[in-house]
Amino acid sequence: MTSLSRFFFGALTLCFAASIFAQTSSRAYDPSAPKTRAEVRQEFLAWRAAGYDPNDWLNYPANAKRRDRATCIERLPDFD
């Protein structure tokens, strides 16, 4: 019985070790990964700084796409 319990304990330890490595952060590579509140707020403030008005619902799709392009251009690295 002792060897059987040691086997299960070892298997359980391996499962925990594997799950630690399986949950690495892929935020830098996956834009669809969930964001924190701070990241969402920072993105919203960047949109507001680029001129996005959330109350402008008449021009919503075009207004949001224009501001998204502006914030994406600002995030691009400078290759000079």
* pLDDT tens sequence across 50-62: 888 888 888 888 8
| Coil, strand or helix at 69 | helix
Average pLDDT of the chain? 76
Give me 80's structure tokens. Answer: 């000079």
How many Cα atoms sit within 13 Å of 19 on the Cβ side? 6
DSSP letters, 7-56, are HHHHHHHHHHHHHHHHT---TTT-TTS---HHHHHHHHHHHHHTT--TT-
Q: What is the model's pTM?
A: 0.48
